[in-house]
Chain A
Amino acid sequence: MLRMALLFILAWHGAAQGQNDTARDLFADYKSAILQIRIIDLTSGSKSTIGSGFPVDDSGLIATNYHVIQLAASEPQQYRIEYLTESNKTGELSLVDVDVVNDLALVKATDLDRKFINLAPKEPEIGMPVYALGNPLDLGLTVVPGTYNGINRAGYHPRVHFTGSLNPGMSGGPTIDREGQVVGINVATAGNQVSFLVPVSRLQALFAGYKTRDAAIVNMQAYIGAQLLADQQEKFSRLLARDWQSISLGESKVLDELVPFVKCWGGSNSSDDKAQFLSADRSCRSEDNIYLTSTFATGILEYQFIWLEANKLNPWQFYSYYERLFGDFAPGNRAGEEDVTDFQCDNGFTQGTSGRQSKTVFCLRAYKDYPELYDILFLQGSVDDSDRALISHFTLAGVSKDNGLAFASKFMEVSQWQ
Chain B
Amino acid sequence: MAVIIEVLGWGGRRRQYYQVDADQVSIGRGYDNDVVLPDPHISANHLRLDASGDGWAITDLDSMNGLQVLKNPSPDASVLASGSEIKVGRTRLRIVANTHPLEATKLLHRLERDSSQLNRVSVWLPLLLTVIVVQIVALYAGTVAEWEWKNAIPVILSAQLAIFVGALLWGLVGRLVKQEAHLLGQYSLILLASLVFTGCEWLLSTLSYNFNSVLFGETVQQLVAMSILLLLLSANLALATNLSSRSRWSGCAAFVGLLVIVGTVGQMKRWGEFSQFPQYSSTIATPTLLVVNGQTSEEFLADITPLFDRADEAVLKKE
Contacts and interface: CB of A to CB of B under 8 A. Distances in A.
Contacts of B283: 323
A330 B303 contact: no
B278 interface: yes
A362 interface: yes
A344 B286 contact: no
Interface stretch (A74-82, A109-117, A351-359): A351-359
Residues of A in contact with B, size category: 35 or more
11 contacts: A276-B145, A331-B277, A345-B307, A347-B212, A347-B281, A348-B304, A349-B292, A350-B297, A350-B300, A359-B284, A368-B315
A366 B312 contact: yes
B290 A383 contact: yes
A343 B277 CA distance: 7
B280 A379 contact: yes
Given A330-B276, A343-B279, A363-B280, A348 B311 contact: no
Main secondary structure of the interface of B (DSSP, over half): loop
A374 B304 CA distance: 14
A383 B285 CA distance: 7
Nearest to A346: B304
B205 to A, nearest CB: 11
B260 to A, nearest CB: 25
Contacts, number: 154
A381 interface: yes
Given A342-B314, A365-B311, A323 B284 contact: yes
Interface stretch (A31-39, A189-197, A248-256, A406-414): A406-414
A360 B300 contact: yes
B293 interface: yes
Contacts of B278: 329-331, 343, 345, 363, 365, 377
A322 interface: yes
Nearest to A367: B315
B317 to A, nearest CB: 9
Interface in B263-311: 274-288, 290, 292-298, 300-301, 303-305, 307-308, 310-311
Interface in B145-165: 145-146
A245 interface: no
Name the prevailing secondary structure of the A interface residues. mixed
Interface of A: 276-277, 313-317, 319-323, 326-331, 334-337, 341-352, 357-368, 371, 374, 377, 379, 381, 383-386, 401, 405, 408-409, 412-413
Interface residues of B, number: 45
Interface stretch (B23-31, B85-93, B135-143, B187-195): B135-143
Contacts of B284: 319, 322-323, 326, 359, 381, 383
A405 B296 contact: no
Contacts of B297: 350, 352, 360, 408-409, 412-413
Given A405-B305, A412-B297, A317 B140 contact: yes
